[in-house]
Chain A
Amino acid sequence: MADSDRVEVPPAPEAAAISPHVDSSVVASHRTRRNLGPMIWAALIVFGAGWIAIQVLRNGLGTSGNVPQFIIITLGSVSLAALFFLAAVGLTLIFGLMRVVNMAHGSLYLLGGYCAWALTTKMGVDWWLAALIAMLSVGVLGLVMEQAFLRWNLGQDLRQALITIAISVILADQMLANFGAMPSVLPTPTALAQPFQLGLYNLSYSSFRLFVIGMALAIGLLLWLWIQRTRFGMVIRAGIDDRAMASALGVNVQVVFAIAFFAGSCLAALSGVLGGTMLSLAPGQDVAFLTSSIVVVIIGGMGSLGGAALGAALLAFVETYSGVYLPQNLAPYSMVVTFLLVAAVLAVRPQGLFARAER
């Protein structure tokens, strides 16, 4: 063997699949940060809340003050958080269970929205039925994707990430070809078309956005029940904690993965339908929601429902409030502030706020 190869240590087959854990070398340094981290967070939150409170209450509590505006903005923020949560929860489950970051997750979001859009606008299908059909068909597509491309290379995390990136590139271009570049909006279902009276300050708010909040709560609760209280959920939790052991104990991990991937894809599609009605559908939204879902998972920790909820809330609130309550000329920096949030989490607790203790 030529001496040039002597020091070229080829990567071990599993080296590319090092599971995303925090290795022991950083535990020591984290210990010193354990107290500092939460303190910094608390300080930031107090400061932020105080700043906003000053802006909001500056002109008093009456209708001419800033409070009505604050209520609308907060409701907008909560509904956006609901959408982020629904979009991200599928990703975090798949990631936690299968250690696969499905980079095509955003494409499934957009595809679900487009399917429902085509059904409602081109074929006159009722919104609720279209949502259901879109959800299930994209769920099946996700399942097919998993079976065809991901099933046989379990454990090669990075390779799977690359595969899903390639799929997302292809899907994005195909959607552009088939649905065009014109932004599309799904028509709001008639039952939710009328604004909802809030009873405060004579304000009314979009019923649909309130519905999205309700959906997120309901689905979050259902998922929690499923994972925490059913036998299958126990299997999922076991798989998230220790896949090898679960398999050794006789669990058919392939079936569990397939079901999880199907469920995750369904949720992505459903959030696409909701997002397409609440906001809009356009090329680029797939990247936007993949990014927001990744941020939610980074903040909340992979595999954690509570983490996804917290991450979605933080992301939505920071993005919305920084756009509005920062000094005006800093409004274009709202995206930067959002990502500084990500950096802050990474600096303090890289595995996410709610990450489960690793073995």
Chain B
Amino acid sequence: MSSYLMARRMAAVVVVGVVVLLPFIFSVYITSAIAVPTLWIGLCAVSLTFLSRYGGMISLAQTGLFGVAGLLTAALMVQAGWDPWAAALIGVLAATGVGLIFGALASSSTGTYFLMITLALAEISYYLFSAVPAFGLHEGINAVFPPAILGDPVLHPTGNYYFLLVICVLVYLFLRYLVRTPFGIALQGVRDDPDRMTSLGFNVRLHRMLIFAVGAAIAGIAGVLSAWNNTRISADSVSLAVTIVVLECAVIGGLFRLEGAWVGALVVTVLTTFGPSFTDRYATAIGIVFLAIVLISPGGLVGIWTWLDGRIRHWLESKPPAAPTPQAAPPPIGGD
């Protein structure tokens, strides 16, 4: 058992090592075309996972909010010549504001009805961006570059990669922290039993709106980062197809754990980048993986891992001890 735990810890160290040292291990292409998109798609997906796990709301409007921030930032930078950081700030604030509005519209419904309403809202955003010329329409806004200090995202992605990694870690830590606060606990109460929470004096709608705004801000950050790293963004960056991709990331990774968002994002990014080279039917392949996950393991890949880990430990525990050794009780099984 202890050797298994040790092996597991080593594997975790290796994974962390790979993630931290990725630009030095892999090529420029892999860093900028696989790793970096995984990070910002995962960021958008984690906003969905967060809303689902702690708010009980599966929102398909995250890409719409992603688009608000990304397109507004790109437009301000390219057409009005703004400083990238200022444009990014305005973009994220705008996304949060729109998120509050969406939240207000959708917060009185739950479950699949909420899903449908957020889907309609995402479509509104897409049609709006396809119609307003300031956002570049289908052609989009090109030549969007991140702040000079981060480096060119295509040729020298290292700076951008680390910046994104830091942002993702910070967002993750922030979300973990948020759910421990009284606000976060109230959110989970609202998720589980809104009527009881109302009777306890909580404003359920307000809580839902606020959590939606938090998700919107995160999706907005993802949108800005995607515009910077793709050096472009257009209405088609937030079409329904992209909404489904983000959902696929969140579900394949696992809706019960925040980390699942990035695991799913990695899987989907690799499949969509290299898939078309193998078969024209890569969309079917992703769909089948998605279906299999939903049918077999609602906890996604992370859920499968957790289950597998639990089974191995259970099996190891149930084995009789190899030989009596002068050892204290087996190391406590830490919850990981």
Chain A residues engaging chain B, CB cutoff 8 angstroms: 1-2, 4-5, 7-12, 15-26, 29, 95, 99-101, 149, 157-163, 165-167, 169-170, 172-174, 177, 287, 291, 294-295, 297-298, 302, 332-333, 335-336, 338-340, 342-343, 346-347, 350-351
Contacts and interface: CB of A to CB of B under 8 A. Distances in A.
Interface stretch (B35-43, B105-113, B151-159, B214-222): B105-113
Name the 7 nearest CB pairs between A and B, nearest first: A20-B113, A169-B287, A166-B291, A339-B124, A335-B127, A170-B287, A2-B335
Q: Which of B106, B108, B195, B198 has the most CB of A within 10 A?
A: B108
**Chain B at the A interface: SS class:** helix
Given A158-B115, A166-B288, A170-B288, 4 more contacts: A15-B56, A23-B108, A23-B194, A174-B281
Contacts of B185: 7, 9
Contacts of A12: 192
19 contacts: A7-B179, A9-B189, A11-B191, A15-B192, A25-B203, A25-B204, A26-B205, A29-B205, A99-B111, A99-B112, A161-B58, A163-B291, A165-B247, A166-B290, A302-B113, A336-B131, A343-B121, A343-B124, A350-B105
B209 to A, nearest CB: 12
Interface string B133-159: 000000000000000000000000000
B179 A169 contact: no
Contact of A15 (B112, B121, B184, B191): B191
Contacts of B110: 18, 20-21, 23
B331 interface: no
Contacts of A287: 240
A177 B280 contact: yes
Given A25-B204, A26-B108, A169-B290, A298 B334 contact: no
B272 interface: no
Nearest to A174: B284
Contacts, number: 164
Interface string B236-257: 0000100010010001000010
Contacts of B58: 158, 161
A161 B110 CA distance: 13
Contacts of B117: 298, 346, 350
A23 B198 contact: yes
A2 to B, nearest CB: 4
Interface of A: prevailing SS: helix
A170 B291 contact: yes
Contacts of A29: 205
* Interface core residue of B124, B205, B256 (most chain A CB under 10 Å): B124
B322 interface: no
Given A7-B179, A339-B120, A22 B287 contact: no
A165 to B, nearest CB: 7
Interface of B: 53, 56, 58, 104-106, 108-117, 119-121, 123-124, 127-128, 130-131, 179-180, 184-185, 188-189, 191-192, 194-195, 198, 203-205, 240, 244, 247, 251, 256, 280-281, 283-284, 286-288, 290-291, 294-295, 298, 334-335
A169 B283 contact: yes
Given A5-B335, A26-B205, A163 B287 contact: no
A15 B194 CA distance: 11
Contacts of B131: 332-333, 335-336
Contacts of A15: 56, 191-192
Contacts of A174: 281, 284
Given A18-B111, A340-B124, A165 B295 contact: no
A214 B67 CA distance: 42
B203 A9 contact: no
B240 to A, nearest CB: 6
B112 A158 contact: yes
A16 B56 contact: yes
A166 B294 contact: yes
Given A9-B192, A20-B113, A22-B108, A4 B298 contact: no
B108 A339 contact: no
A285 B111 CA distance: 26
B335 A4 contact: yes
Question: Could you say which of A160, A161, A166, A297 has the most chain B C-beta atoms within 10 Å of its C-beta?
Answer: A166
B123 A339 contact: yes
A320 to B, nearest CB: 16
B116 A294 contact: yes
B105 A346 contact: yes
B204 to A, nearest CB: 4
A149 to B, nearest CB: 7
Given A8-B179, A159-B294, A166-B287, A22 B109 contact: yes
Contacts of A163: 291, 294-295
A11 B192 CA distance: 7
B112 A101 contact: yes
Given A7-B180, A23-B195, A24-B198, A17 B287 contact: no
A18 B114 CA distance: 10
B254 to A, nearest CB: 13
